[in-house]
Structure 1
Amino acid sequence: MSRADKDPGVDLGGYVLAGGRSSRMGSDKALLALGGKPLLQRVADAVREAVGAVVIVGDAARHSGFGAPVIADEFPGAGPLAGIHVALKHSTNDWNLIVACDMPGLTAATLHGLARIRALFPAADAVLPVAGGREQPLCAIYRRRLLPTIESALEHGNLKIMRVLEGARLARIDFPNQEAFRNINTPEEWRELQERASETTS
């Protein structure tokens, strides 16, 4: 099999962001269990299946039991941009799938589809899904060459991902399944998710 015929997913690094403070939830979202499996485990398994490997960006004391290496933010308290930064700094891959841990609707099939679409945009700096009219920077593919831009932004206190990416070449891909990218932030959203999950299994 030639390199051109290879599955595009095998050339991607895979990272799951689990370092958030979960302040609105009141407890670590990564450890909340849905269907007997923590959200972090669900997303890490999907990333691993989609691209072949996964690294967790989080706290080794809390997130080391999920069968993946754990690396820590170098800008603690700086939000998800800091997670993207350390993922790109750690990676040896040109392209990297970086996903937040609080998207329980994500599947390996969705992520694999994103990885395949990425191959259509070789000049892009990042490939972002768009669902329900909203860009999804916390389930996206980033090129390692964005690292200096992101690091400079963090050093200057600029933490909004889309603002930092304003000068980058972005490929935006429409995804019809909004539920795949829905994240969980509050106890109310968590209860609603659990109720929906119990209805589908009853």
Structure 2
Amino acid sequence: MEKSQEITAYVLCGGKSVRMQAEKGLVLYRGKPFIRWIIEAIMPITSNIILVTSNGDYSLVGLPMIEDSYEDKGPVGGIYTALKHSKTVRNLILSCDIPKITTELLRNLCDESEEIEASVTFLCDAKNDYPLIGVYNKSALQTFADAISSNKLKLCPLVNMISHQKICINSDQKSLVQNINSKAELQSLNLLDL
């Protein structure tokens, strides 16, 4: 399949990284920063990749970076920034703490997002939703603007309130979408790979 220029990928590299005590996207996993694993998974789908961050350390990956439009508004603010910046209708939005994500999973998500007209298409499993592994339609911009102005910054209730579709992953794929938020989680991830 050819790369799609009809989708822009944004990796949200904000966040306080309190539990990790280090910039999450730059934490090493198997010798490479998380951000590189994520970029490598995106590249076969689109080369139009932008990082949402104000941290200049991410310049090591050589991709365009944009700063959050609003500070301290969490993922809702990051998604708003991405949608406002985007020139494409569909936008792949990912967090920076999912180093095991695969091209196959992302391609399936992108393909499914083309099938149904929804403001957002995101992954889920039997228990959890993963709205930070999703395709967001530019039409959702106003919803995110309104959420910020009313300080409603919880992402799951917001995406469940607008038109959405969930793509369920199987139990074998669950490790691919795991957020690595702490040193303990990173250690257990490294141990699993031994």
TM (normalized to structure 2)? 0.93
Give CA-to-partner distance per residue, 1:73-95, whole Å, 9 cap, x none: 11111111111111111100001
Give CA-to-partner distance per residue, 1:39-91, whole Å, 9 cap, x none: 01111221222223210011241211212100111111111111111111110
Aligned to 2:94: 99
Q: CA RMSD in A?
A: 1.6
Structure 1 Cα separation of the partners of residues 94 and 15 of structure 2: 12
Structure 2 Cα separation of the partners of residues 102 and 10 of structure 1: 25
Structure 2 Cα separation of the partners of residues 49 and 82 of structure 1: 27
Aligned to 1:20: 15
Structure 2 Cα separation of the partners of residues 160 and 60 of structure 1: 23
Q: 2:168 aligns with which of 151, 174, 180?
A: 174
| 1:112 and 2:137 are equivalent in the alignment | no
Q: Secondary structure at the match of 2:131?
A: coil
After superposition, where does 1:1-80 map in structure 2 within 5 Å? Answer: 9-80=4-75
1:166 deviation in Å?
3.5
Matched to 2:130, the amino acid is Q
Structure 2 Cα separation of the partners of residues 47 and 107 of structure 1: 8
Structure 1 segments (4+ residues) deviating >3 Å: 6-10
Equivalences, count: 192
Q: Secondary structure at the match of 1:137?
A: strand
TM (normalized to structure 1)? 0.89
Matched to 2:74, the amino acid is G
Structure 2 Cα separation of the partners of residues 73 and 149 of structure 1: 17
Give CA-to-partner distance per residue, 1:13-35, whole Å, 9 cap, x none: 11111111101111111111112
Provide the identity percentage: 28
Aligned to 2:146: 152
Matched to 1:14, the amino acid is A
Q: Is the contact between residue 131 and residue 159 of structure 2 (CA under 8 Å) also seen in structure 1?
A: no
Q: Which runs of 5+ in 1 are unaligned?
A: 1-5
Q: Is the contact between residue 50 and residue 109 of structure 1 (CA under 8 Å) also seen in structure 2?
A: no
Q: 2:190 aligns with which of 172, 189, 194?
A: 194
Matched to 2:46, the amino acid is V
Give CA-to-partner distance per residue, 1:81-133, whole Å, 9 cap, x none: 11111111110000100000101110112111111111211x21110111233
Structure 1 stretch displaced more, 105-114 or 164-173? 164-173
